[in-house]
């Protein structure tokens, strides 16, 4: 009887692929984590827009993420898995700014502000190199100040109280404004767990 060789399965790191407005995007496997867009037959590195990342949230399902995250270090995977619709943004933040992984683990909502930094600061594009430099030079409080947030432990405590790390983009600017208002800070600090509804209600009350 001929001996049969056991066939070993070969697991290859996966890229996550999605489409947006007729264009095909992908993010390559860890540790490279390059965001690319298909032009003709070539994948070209790009910085996906907020809308493109929103499309990824719809098209990249749990099964696709499970295959991708299998090749991500356990500590980083645990952080990314906390996110839902903003998981791609969290991946981008941690990949572009690896020194922030512990900060995001402690304050997951911070990732939403970092991911949206171009819109919040009114810059023409992403500033990942500058973010890394600010954090290296001044730590988490320097980064909060760079993002236009109060550089205080109060700010971190309130962000850590948010129930969902996927802070809706429409609430980022109002929340940033709230954190400069003593009355709003007092109200938010009294909430042990702040839901999106609580946040929206507080924003509305302050604007009234």
Q: For 144-205, give the DSSP string.
A: HHHTTS--SHHHHHHHHTBS-SS--HHHHHHHHHHTT-HHHHHHHHT-SSB-HHHHHHHHHH
Tell me the pLDDT tens digit for each residue of 122-162. 988 899 999 999 999 999 999 999 999 999 999 999 999 99
In this model, does residue 8 exceed pLDDT 60?
Answer: no
User: Within the chain, where are the H helices?
Assistant: 50-59, 62-69, 74-80, 87-96, 101-106, 110-115, 117-121, 128-146, 153-160, 169-178, 182-189, 196-207
Tell me the pLDDT tens digit for each residue of 27-42. 999 999 999 999 999 9
Can you tell me the distance from the alpha carbon of 190 to that of 167, in angstroms, rounded to the nearest whole number? 19
Can you tell me the distance from the alpha carbon of 112 to that of 10, in angstroms, rounded to the nearest whole number? 36
Within 10 angstroms of residue 201's Cβ, the number of other Cβ atoms is: 12
Q: What does the pLDDT read at residue 202?
A: 85
In this model, does residue 207 exceed pLDDT 90?
Answer: no
Q: What residue spans define the domains of the chain?
A: 99-207
What is the Cβ-side half-sphere exposure of residue 12, based on CA atoms within 13 angstroms? 4
φ, ψ at 137 (rounded to 5°)? -80, -40
Peptide linkage before 31 cis (omega within 30 of 0): yes
Q: Which helix (H) or strand (E) holds 20?
A: strand 16-20
In this model, does residue 6 exceed pLDDT 60?
Answer: no
In this model, does residue 206 exceed pLDDT 80?
Answer: no
Tell me the pLDDT tens digit for each residue of 155-192. 999 999 999 999 999 999 999 999 999 988 998 999 98
Q: What does the pLDDT read at residue 1?
A: 45
What percentage of the chain has pLDDT greater than the value 70?
92
Cβ-contact 189, 157 below 8 angstroms: yes
């Amino acid at each position: 009887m001929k001996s049969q060789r056991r066939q070993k399965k070969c697991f290859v790191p996966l890229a996550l692929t999605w489409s947006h407005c007729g264009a095909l995007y992908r993010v390559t496997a860890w540790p490279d984590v390059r965001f690319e867009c298909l032009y003709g037959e070539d994948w070209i590195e790009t910085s996906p827009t907020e809308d493109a990342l929103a499309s990824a949230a719809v098209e990249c399902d749990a099964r696709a993420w499970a295959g991708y995250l299998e090749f991500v270090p356990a500590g980083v995977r645990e952080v990314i898995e906390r996110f839902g619709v903003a998981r791609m943004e969290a991946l981008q933040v941690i990949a572009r700014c690896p020194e922030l992984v512990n900060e995001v683990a402690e304050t997951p909502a911070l990732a939403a502000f970092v991911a949206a930094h171009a819109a919040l600061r009114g810059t023409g594009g992403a500033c990942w190199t500058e973010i890394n430099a600010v954090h290296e030079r001044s730590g988490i409080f320097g980064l909060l100040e760079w993002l236009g947030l109060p550089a205080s432990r109060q700010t971190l405590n309130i962000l850590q109280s948010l129930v969902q790390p996927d802070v809706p983009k429409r609430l980022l600017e109002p929340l940033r404004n709230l954190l400069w208002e003593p009355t709003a800070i007092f109200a938010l600090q009294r909430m042990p767990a702040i839901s999106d509804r609580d946040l929206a209600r507080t924003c509305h009350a302050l604007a009234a």
